[in-house]
Amino acid sequence: MRDVAVIGIGMTKWGELWEKSLRDIYVETALLAIDDAGVDHIDSMYVGSMSSGIFVGQEHIASLLADYLGCAPVPSTRVETACASGGLALRLGFMEVASGMSDIVLVSGVEKMTDVGGDKATYALGTAADQEYECYHGITFPGLYALMAVAHMNKYGTTREQLAEVAVKNHRNGSKNPLAQFPFEVTVEDVINSVKIADPLRILDCSPITDGAAAAIICPVEMAKKLNKPVVKVIGSGHATDAIAISQRKDMTWLEATYRAGKSAYEMAQKKPKDIDVFEVHDCFTIAELCVMEALGIVEKGKSGEAVEKGRTAIDGDMPVNPSGGLKSKGHPVRATGIAQAVEIVKQLSGESEERQVKGARIGLTQNMGGSGASTVVHIFEKE
Amino acid sequence: MEGIVGYGAYIPRNRIKVEEIAKVWGADAPSYKKGLMLEEKSVPSPDQDTITMAVEASKNALKRAEIDPIDIGAVYIGSESHPYAVKPSGTILAEALGSTPEVHTADFEFACKAGTEGMFVALNLVKTGVVKYGLGVGADTSQGAPGDALEYSAAAGAAAFIFGREKVVAEVLDTYSYMTDTPDFWRREYEYYPQHGGRFTGEPAYFKHIMGAAKGILKKAGMEPQDFSYVVFHQPNGKFPFKVGKKLGFSKQQIEPGWLVNKLGNTYSGSSPMGLTATFDVAKPDDHILLVSYGSGAGSDAFILKVTSRIDEVRNLAPLTRSILDHNKNYLEYGEYAKFREKIRKAD
């Protein structure tokens, strides 16, 4: 297997991009990554994709986006594993470069979610849960994560305030991210008193509906060196699945797929959780960040709330999590999220994260998951 | 100078509280009350519609104008709930007021902006000397689908304004319109309830057009927010008027007298015109008032008005808007409300 490096990244301001279409957002972002890499062609591309058919009535987007990017006839592949589609696009691109089949690969994700109303967006997202055993009974994602939150509170004594602290931290980080959808700070009181969505989760516990894209160019490390690029290597990649329906899991507070994807990535990278300087994880809801921290082995089971409360996951803490603002503040255009996490880690390891820079970060990890955790992709990056 | 010679409002006596609606749909009432700043809304009785309310409001305007209705040469009703798809509302109104047959009538439709459109045309016909008096009415029995966010606000009410040249209550110093094709809210033919673009109805729709119209008229007139005693914006919920006011540099105190929505709901075409009637009720001679409507689709009409000393003579010739709003209320349960609003329909 060849070693793989990220040599270009692209991301534009996320939010409610009323005046841009899916293809506008995509092309703008992908061109930024291509420019950043300084390459004159790509050999192949992957587009993370969840529900473009429902959100904008367009399937077959791999070819559409290759064409609008001016890259047809390169092979272009759409990847779908719910909200982890972006992460999986990176993994497949990584495998293609590592195997020697292609040299320069564009990995990307884009979502245009605001062309539909809230009800339809909720429906589209809900298709990532188990239709027969969950959705038909009326539950939506906030409800599923609320069940996980209640279970975590009952089992470990996690408090309402500790959940709020996740949002407070991520908004504080996001307020320093010029590309974030909601770059403002919130307090614990704001979170606890915000509009109730699914008890105990309030609206400020939930990631937003977002339009946005993210893209990265990867190539063999040897080629990156020839291009005179600072080399951020992808040193570990893991992917795992779990039961889609949370009722089918042994423990509702435990994300088995995240644990297994993390284990694979740690093993490939020959690193341990304590070796990681900075984490970007999938905080689609505040409770998700807590469960992910435990499954990745950053903290012991049941200790995540306390760690956040003590500031250990803040930018200046001993285990910084989501310096970008996370899904909560930066936004969550579902299939772009996994790539955006990689974009942030590359910036962090290159020392380009400005006010939200984790000092001396050299090794970073991304964790991107789909649905209520039934698919997870983990990557570990290292600055050479 | 041309202006408003008489104004009047009408609100049905039925009300339903946000809690009563939220209870039926399993929604969190405190969130709606806090998020949208809504407490209750007016509901028309089964025998009330846009026309009956327009008649009531126009009669109040006539009382204040103290004119012979036969001298009204133009009658315009703006509404998105005209009772007939084909057959004018205006003819019934003109007949009921005694303004027929030498009268020009038209029904306007531009979502929530239709009321100020009627006012705009009536004013300009007076200005050009085509008619002696012109009547512009905004009235709606607003529709909101059961369980939709709109159901908490869609209300009923009317406001009427008679324009003329003599014995003017408020001079119209300037007008300005601002519009684009922006599909944020619509109802197709044969559909019972409107559809909307959720948050798209905010920033690119309501805020863009109200800001555009307000900034445009201020620039045109060479005026600043602090030159006005009061400002009235379209009121789809409680929060938006204060938010847009703040963005434009108006204070809460300038907005509050015409801010009826928390107890009235959104009366669509009647919304900002009714706010103007409530503002006239408290205004003093020489006060300047800015009115900015908003209609989905989308556009805003802006009016700069200067109140005259005649306000003190006419104010109490008809019921004050807040007095109609605050008295003789009849609270409905959701079942009665569903019947009144024809949400329960029998098979033929």
Q: Same domain for B103 and B136?
A: yes
Task: Give me the catalytic one of A239, A282, A332, A379.
Answer: A332
Other beta carbons within 10 angstroms of residue B47's beta carbon come to 7
Contact at CB, B199 and A196, closer than 8 angstroms: no
Structural domain count of chain B:
2
State the pLDDT confidence band at A367, using cuts at 50, 70 and 90: very high
Q: Same domain for B203 and B285?
A: yes
Average pLDDT over residues A69-74: 96
Residue A62, min C-alpha distance to chain B (Å): 28
The CATH number of A129-207+235-383 is which of 3.30.460.10, 3.30.70.1880, 2.40.50.100, 3.40.47.10?
Answer: 3.40.47.10
Residue among B28, B34, B200 minimizing CB distance to A114 = B200
Q: Same domain for B143 and B214?
A: no
Write down the pLDDT at residue B190.
87
Chosen from A120, A123, A195 to mutate, greatest number of chain B CBs within 10 A: A195
B234 is catalytic: yes
Determine the Cα–Cα distance for residues B78 and B118; give it in Å rounded to an integer: 6
Query: Does B347 reside within a domain?
Result: no
Give the residue on A whose Cα is nearest the Cα of B35: A195
Under CATH, domain A4-117+210-226 is a member of which superfamily? Thiolase/Chalcone synthase (3.40.47.10)
Average pLDDT along chain B: 96
Whether the complex's predicted ipTM is more than 0.95 is answered with no
Average pLDDT over residues A32-61: 93
Could you check whether the bond before residue B285 is cis, i.e. omega within 30 degrees of 0? no
Contact at CB, B35 and A114, closer than 8 angstroms: no
C-alpha closest to that of A327 among A129, A180, A146: A180
Q: Same domain for B68 and B125?
A: yes
Q: What is the pLDDT of residues B209-251, one digit of tens each?
A: 999 999 999 999 999 999 999 999 999 999 999 999 999 999 9
Query: Does B132 reside within a domain?
Result: yes
Residue A343, min C-alpha distance to chain B (Å): 28
The whole domain housing B220 covers: 170-307
Q: Same domain for B250 and B183?
A: yes
Distance of CA B261 to CAs A51, B15, B24, B210, Å? 38, 13, 22, 17
Give the residue on B whose Cα is nearest the Cα of A195: B31
Residue ranges, comma separated, of all CATH 3.40.47.10 domains in chain A are 4-117+210-226, 129-207+235-383
Write down the pLDDT at residue A311.
98
Which chain A residues have a beta carbon less than 8 Å from that of B197? 117
Write down the pLDDT at residue A51.
81
Q: Is the pLDDT of residue A256 over 90?
A: yes
Residue among B31, B197, B198 minimizing CB distance to A195 = B31
Range with the lowest mean pLDDT among A131-140, A152-161, A183-192, B155-164? A131-140
Task: Give me the catalytic one of B40, B80, B117, B151.
Answer: B80
State the pLDDT confidence band at A119, using cuts at 50, 70 and 90: confident
Contact at CB, A18 and B196, closer than 8 angstroms: no
Residue A119, min C-alpha distance to chain B (Å): 9
Contact at CB, A18 and B203, closer than 8 angstroms: yes
Residues B184, B190, B193, B199: what is their CA dihedral angle, to the nearest 10 degrees? -20
Average pLDDT over residues A7-25: 96
* Chains A, B: CB pairs < 8 Å: 21
Other beta carbons within 10 angstroms of residue B326's beta carbon come to 11
Task: Give me the catalytic one of A83, A206, A219, A284.
Answer: A83
State the pLDDT confidence band at A359, using cuts at 50, 70 and 90: very high
Q: Same domain for B243 and B188?
A: yes
Give the residue on B whose Cα is nearest the Cα of A19: B204
Continuous H helices in A175-325: 188-192, 221-226, 256-269, 286-295, 304-309
Residue among A117, A118, A196 minimizing CB distance to B28 = A196
Can you give the CATH number for the domain in which B147 is found? Answer: 3.40.47.10
B112 is catalytic: yes
State the pLDDT confidence band at A229, using cuts at 50, 70 and 90: confident
Q: Same domain for B111 and B136?
A: yes
Q: Same domain for B163 and B185?
A: no
pTM reported for the whole predicted model: 0.88
The strand pair at A375-383 and B156-164 is best described as: unpaired
